[in-house]
Amino acid sequence: EDQVTQSPEALRLQEGESSSLNCSYTVSGLRGLFWYRQDPGKGPEFLFTLYSAGEEKEKERLKATLTKKESFLHITAPKPEDSATYLCAVDSGGSNYKLTFGKGTLLTVNP
Partner 1 sequence: DAGITQSPRHKVTETGTPVTLRCHQTENHRYMYWYRQDPGHGLRLIHYSYGVKDTDKGEVSDGYSVSRSKTEDFLLTLESATSSQTSVYFCAVEGAGNEQFFGPGTRLTVL
Cα→Cα distances 13→7, 95, 110, Å: 15, 40, 6
**Amino acid of residue 43:** G
- % helix / strand / coil in the chain, to the nearest 5? 5, 55, 40
The sign one gets for the Cα dihedral 102, 92, 53, 50 is negative
Q: Rule CB under 8 A: is residue 25 a binding residue for partner 1?
A: no
* Binder of partner 1 out of 14, 29, 60, 96 (CB under 8 A): 96
Q: Which is nearer to partner 1, 31 or 59 (CB)?
A: 31
Q: Which is nearer to partner 1, 69 or 98 (CB)?
A: 98
Q: Which is nearer to partner 1, 75 or 87 (CB)?
A: 87
Give the gyration radius of the chain's Cα atoms: 14
In the complex, what is the shortest distance from the CB of residue 55 to partner 1, in angstroms, rounded to a whole number?
A: 13
> By three-state DSSP, how is residue 81 classified?
helix
Q: Rule CB under 8 A: is residue 69 a binding residue for partner 1?
A: no
Applying the rule CB under 8 A, the residues between 35 and 54 that interact with partner 1 are 36, 41-46, 49
* Binder of partner 1 out of 21, 104, 105, 109 (CB under 8 A): 104
